[in-house]
């Protein structure tokens, strides 16, 4: 068991000195409070002094715009600290802003610093320079706020027209209107009624009074069926109809608008059918002419790749319109594609435009440049499609080895194989058999023939119990056993792998003895004591054992 003796005279002296310093500092600062400052919305009501001794009092007051709500306004210096100020100052209220006729104030806040804006009712505007008012120390600032009625100056007179009511006024108020009218033989263009808006302007420009007289229209090969004879004033109208055998280009109804017919008068021209075009999968079988008169006929035919199934191939021009084409054209069929030995065509569609792709059986590949065929107007395009057998070139010879069968061939076919073997004293590394695949390559790289001869292993204090004497070729093995009084480190069995023993040769070493008895206990105890001394002596402790 350990006993500790600790001396601390030096620490005692330091504590006494520190306590003395703290006591002197407390005595020196006892009776003074710091100068007071603003607290919230309150400030001292008297000038600030240099010093405040114990028991001094200061009175606070609310800053301008704020009023006392509750709490004490006085604080006291007590042992160098001011007491807590409980005075609560809140913003003063200016009360509701004064009423303004035909207007209202926008803004809900009526406390100090708040601003409200005057908004006049529709038809009124703010009079004066300002439209806002603020809550200040003395109340709402400003006065004389008014909402004046919006006024529009009288609209101008227009040539050949008047407006009413024509009372002797200088202006119109918001919402009031005047109505314009023209003298006889004149027509009014624009808005007949102008209204004074809330902006002090009219809702439209003044109208005009114009004399309108559209000319007598001429429509050859046409007859007027509605509307009267001249003169034609503003909004007069005429409706026309073309004579038998003629068709109208344009609108049948025209209206006189500001001395012009709108739209333009129509034209009656001899009935013609438009040039025919492609319809579905059929086109005209003859050249297209410039004009097609009533009764003309056109014959259609199917486009290339399509054949007629049913319906009539002829249409007729009747009163400027072609009759309906009933001809039905459907895609032609090329029939099944030709058979290819050792292959088949992929694709079910055999109609015009369809494409099929040649897929060869396993061990065969497409011969030639193309593998697809299309159904065209004349049938399936292309020929000479074949599936050739896949060939692999003979594999290479390897040093100190041969492969069989070694017949005099230039290549091997898909699925055929060769087997490699090495000369005596050589070992084969890699795949002994190579097979020709469907890609025209072999399934593996050629093997190698290497001479393997592992060195005679040396195991001191050990004896070979299995395995023969040198030479040691590939896969040769030895099993060792250590002599009496020795123990083995490593594996007892080693194998020759590519000129190296795997795993490493074992080692036989003398068997070790464990530390037991009172001697080991004494050595361990002495070691522990020395470690403890080394750790404790540097920190100033006196240790007695």
**pLDDT at residue number 173:** 92
Q: Which CATH class is domain 391-451?
A: mainly beta
Of how many residues is the chain composed? 545
pLDDT band at 533 (very low <50, low <70, confident <90, very high): low
The pLDDT tens digits for 269-311 are 888 888 999 999 999 999 998 888 888 999 999 999 999 999 9
Q: Could you tell me which residues come within 8 angstroms of residue 98 by beta carbon, excluding any fewer than 6 positions away?
A: 140, 145
* CATH (one of 3.40.50.1820, 2.10.70.10, 3.40.50.720, 2.120.10.30) for 222-270: 2.10.70.10
The answer to whether 351 and 367 have CB atoms below 8 angstroms apart is: no
pLDDT at residue 2, rounded to an integer: 36
Share above pLDDT 70 across residues of the chain, in percent, rounded to a whole number = 88
Measured CA angle at 100 (ends 97, 105), to 5 deg: 50
Q: What local confidence, expressed as pLDDT, does residue 523 receive?
A: 35
The strand order across the sheet containing 372-376 reads: 343-346, 355-360, 372-376, 379-380
pLDDT more than 90, % of the chain: 70
Q: Would you say the CATH fold of 462-510 matches that of 103-149?
A: yes
Q: What pLDDT is stored for residue 144 in this prediction? A: 85
Residue-range domain boundaries for the chain = 31-91, 103-149, 151-210, 222-270, 273-331, 343-389, 391-451, 462-510
| Second CATH level (architecture) for the domain 343-389 | Ribbon (2.10)
Q: Between 246 and 20, where is the model more confident?
A: 246
Q: Is the pLDDT of residue 4 over 50?
A: no
**Is 537 exposed, middle or buried, given 0-12, 13-18 or 19+ CB atoms closer than 10 A?**
exposed
Instruction: Summarize the confidence of residues 82-111 as an average pLDDT.
Output: 94
pLDDT at 541 (0 to 100): 40
Split at pLDDT 50, 70, 90, the class of 545 is very low
Q: What is the pLDDT of residue 272?
A: 85
Radius of gyration of the chain (CA): 60
Q: What is the DSSP string of 177-217?
A: EEEEEE-TT-EEES-SEEEB-TTSSBSS---EEE---BPPP
Encode pLDDT of 347-400 as tens digits: 999 999 999 999 999 999 998 888 999 999 999 998 889 999 999 999 999 999
Question: Which residues lie across from 404 on neighbouring strands?
Answer: 419
Residue 252 has a CB neighbour count (10 Å cut-off) of 15
What is the CATH number assigned to the segment(s) 462-510? 2.10.70.10
pLDDT above 90: residue 246: no
Asked if the model's pLDDT at residue 526 lies above 70, the reply is no
Q: Could you give the CA distance from residue 498 to residue 427 in angstroms, rounded to a whole number?
A: 9
pLDDT at 22: 39
Q: What is the mean pLDDT of the chain?
A: 86
Whether the model clears a pTM of 0.85, i.e. scores above it, the answer is no
Residue 542 has pLDDT above 50, yes or no: no
What is the Cα–Cα distance from 136 to 231, expressed in whole angstroms?
77
Higher pLDDT, 427 or 7: 427
CATH class, 151-210 region: mainly beta
Q: Report the topology of domain 31-91.
A: Complement Module; domain 1 (2.10.70)
Phi, psi dihedral angles at 475 (to 5 degrees) = 75, 5
Looking at residue 168, its pLDDT comes to 74
In the three-class reduction of DSSP (H, G, I as helix; E, B as strand; rest coil), residue 446 is classed as coil
pLDDT (average), residues 108-125: 94
Closest listed residue to residue 476, CA positions, set 508, 505, 453: 453
The CATH H-level superfamily of 273-331 is Complement Module, domain 1 (2.10.70.10)
Token look-up 């050629």 returns 446
Output the pLDDT for position 290: 86
Report which of 353, 301, 311, 355 is spatially closest to residue 331, judged by C-alpha positions.
Answer: 353
pLDDT tens digits, one per residue of 414-469: 999 999 999 888 999 999 999 999 999 999 999 999 988 899 999 999 999 999 89
Decide if domain 103-149 falls under CATH 2.10.70: yes
């Amino acid at each position: 068991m350990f006993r500790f003796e600790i001396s601390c005279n030096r620490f005692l002296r330091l504590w006494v000195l520190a306590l003395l310093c703290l006591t002197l500092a407390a005595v020196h600062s006892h009776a003074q409070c710091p100068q007071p400052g603003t607290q919230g919305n309150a400030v001292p009501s008297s000038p600030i002094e240099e010093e405040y001794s114990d028991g001094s009092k200061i009175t606070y007051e609310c800053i301008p715009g704020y009023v006392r709500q509750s709490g004490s306004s006085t604080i006291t210096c007590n042992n160098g600290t001011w007491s807590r100020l409980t005075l609560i100052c809140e913003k003063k209220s200016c009360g509701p802003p004064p009423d303004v006729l035909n207007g209202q104030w926008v803004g809900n806040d009526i406390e100090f610093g708040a601003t409200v804006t005057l908004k006049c009712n529709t038809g009124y505007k703010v009079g004066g320079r300002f439209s806002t008012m603020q809550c200040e120390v003395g109340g709402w600032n400003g006065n004389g706020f008014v909402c004046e009625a919006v006024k529009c100056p009288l609209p101008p007179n227009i040539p050949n027209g008047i407006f009413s009511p024509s009372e002797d006024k200088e202006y119109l108020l918001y919402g009031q209107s005047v109505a314009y009218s023209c003298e006889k033989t004149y027509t009014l263009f624009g808005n007949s009624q102008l209204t004074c808006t809330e902006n002090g302007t009219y809702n439209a420009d003044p109208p005009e009074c114009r004399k309108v007289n559209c000319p007598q229209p001429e429509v050859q090969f046409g007859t007027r069926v509605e509307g009267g004879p001249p003169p034609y004033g503003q909004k007069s109208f005429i409706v026309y109809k073309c004579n038998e055998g003629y068709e109208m280009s344009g609108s049948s109804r025209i209206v006189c608008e500001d001395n012009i017919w709108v739209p333009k008068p129509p034209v009656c021209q001899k009935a013609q059918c438009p040039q025919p075009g492609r319809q579905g999968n059929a086109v005209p079988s003859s050249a297209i002419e410039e004009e097609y008169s009533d009764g003309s006929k056109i014959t259609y035919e199917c486009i290339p790749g399509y054949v007629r199934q049913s319906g009539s191939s002829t249409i007729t021009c009747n009163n400027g319109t072609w009759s309906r084409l009933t001809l039905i054209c459907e895609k032609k069929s090329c029939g099944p594609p030709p058979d290819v030995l050792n292959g088949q065509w992929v694709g079910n569609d055999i109609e015009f435009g369809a494409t099929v792709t040649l897929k060869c059986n396993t061990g065969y590949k497409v011969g030639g440049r193309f593998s697809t065929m299309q159904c065209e107007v004349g049938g399936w395009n292309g020929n000479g499609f074949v599936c050739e057998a896949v060939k692999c070139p003979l594999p290479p010879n390897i040093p100190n080895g041969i492969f069989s069968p070694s017949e005099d061939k230039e290549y091997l076919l898909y699925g055929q194989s060769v087997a490699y073997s090495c000369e005596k004293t050589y070992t084969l590394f890699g795949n002994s058999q190579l097979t020709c695949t469907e890609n025209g390559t072999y399934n593996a790289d050629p093997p190698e023939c290497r001479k393997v001869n592992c060195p005679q292993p040396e195991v001191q204090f050990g004896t070979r119990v299995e395995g023969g004497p040198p030479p040691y070729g590939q896969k040769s093995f030895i099993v060792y056993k250590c002599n009496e009084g020795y123990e083995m480190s490593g594996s007892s069995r080693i194998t020759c792998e590519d000129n190296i023993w795997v795993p490493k040769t074992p080692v036989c070493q003398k068997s070790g003895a464990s530390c037991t008895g009172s001697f080991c206990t004494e050595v361990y105890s002495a070691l522990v004591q020395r470690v403890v001394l080394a750790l404790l002596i540097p920190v100033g402790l006196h240790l007695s054992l």
